[in-house]
Amino acid sequence: MENGVKKIKIAVNGGIGFGAKLNARQLLMISKYMNEDEELELTTFQQLYLEIPEDKKEEIIEELQSVGLVCYPVGNFVKSLRTCNFCKGEEEEGMPVAKELNRRIAGIAVPFTLKVAYTGCPIGCGEPMLSDIGVMKIRDHYNLYVGGKAKGKDAEVGSLIMENLTPEELYDTVEKIIAVYSQMGKKREAFYKFIKRIGKDQLISSL
Ligand code: SF4
């Protein structure tokens, strides 16, 4: 609360492209909503957290979007897709598919923050194996991993649950996994714990 105005946090980034970049116009627009002594938080998930007055949320988001920024909710939602840098080219590495997947799932409410990563080839710079849900493009199709855990002494790589998916099959399967987690996950139950509790076989048979 500042001068009686309630502030809310939103997550902002430049959308999916060649690397996590922001241009000068976007930086100027972000700074318009910051006081000189305020700080901007850069998360490990290629998002910036910005605090804005709640009563002006809609108009500020519209203004941020007018310079190509993309805004997402903060909290227990599907995060924006973490991607690799698409170094081998937009089409070859499936950037349109990554954008469409992000459009469909980012911001969906879930029991606990859900991280989804996309990588354009098996080199795996987007670290899909260490994310809750990971997508790896291999030639013209997509492999899907679940249950990766990047943090802690018990960090684990995810398990491959589906191979050779078309883009439509990929969107559909990821949306269904998120729906199952939303329906069957306990409040604040992390995705990797959820997968351990219900088992991968049960997850696959629920899709
Ligand atoms: S995963 Fe492949 S396409 Fe993506 S940045 Fe790494 S090497 Fe390039």
Q: What's the whole-model pTM score?
A: 0.90
CB 138 less than 6 A from any atom of ligand 1: no
Q: Is 184 exposed, middle or buried (0-12, 13-18, 19+ CB in 10 A)?
A: middle
pLDDT, residue 145, reads: 97
Compute the radius of gyration of the chain from its Cα atoms.
18
pLDDT, residue 1, reads: 55
Q: Closest residue (by CA) to atom 2 of ligand 1?
A: 121
For the chain, 207 residues long, give each residue's pLDDT as a single digit of tens: 556 778 999 999 999 988 788 999 999 999 998 988 888 888 887 899 999 999 999 999 999 999 999 999 999 999 999 999 898 887 778 899 999 999 999 999 999 999 999 999 999 998 899 999 999 999 999 999 999 999 899 999 999 999 999 999 999 999 999 999 999 999 999 999 999 999 999 999 988
Taking the C-alpha atoms of residue 76 and residue 90, their distance in angstroms, rounded to an integer, is: 30
144 near 162, Cβ under 8 Å? yes
Backbone phi, psi, residue 57, to 5°? -55, -50
Ligand 1 pocket: which of 121, 130, 143 to mutate (most atoms <8 Å of CB)? 121
CB 136 less than 6 A from any atom of ligand 1: no
For residue 162, what are its two tokens? 């589906």
Residues 6+ apart with CB under 8 A from 207: 173, 176, 177, 180
Taking the C-alpha atoms of residue 163 and residue 73, their distance in angstroms, rounded to an integer, is: 31
User: What number does the ligand 1 atom closest to the CA of 93 have?
Assistant: 3
For residue 8, what are its two tokens? 């809310």
CB 102 less than 6 A from any atom of ligand 1: no
User: What number does the ligand 1 atom closest to the CA of 83 have?
Assistant: 4
DSSP element (H, E) containing 169: helix 167-184
pLDDT, residue 3, reads: 66
Taking the C-alpha atoms of residue 25 and residue 193, their distance in angstroms, rounded to an integer, is: 41
CB 125 less than 6 A from any atom of ligand 1: yes
* C-alpha of 197 from chain center: 23
User: What number does the ligand 1 atom closest to the CA of 119 have?
Assistant: 1
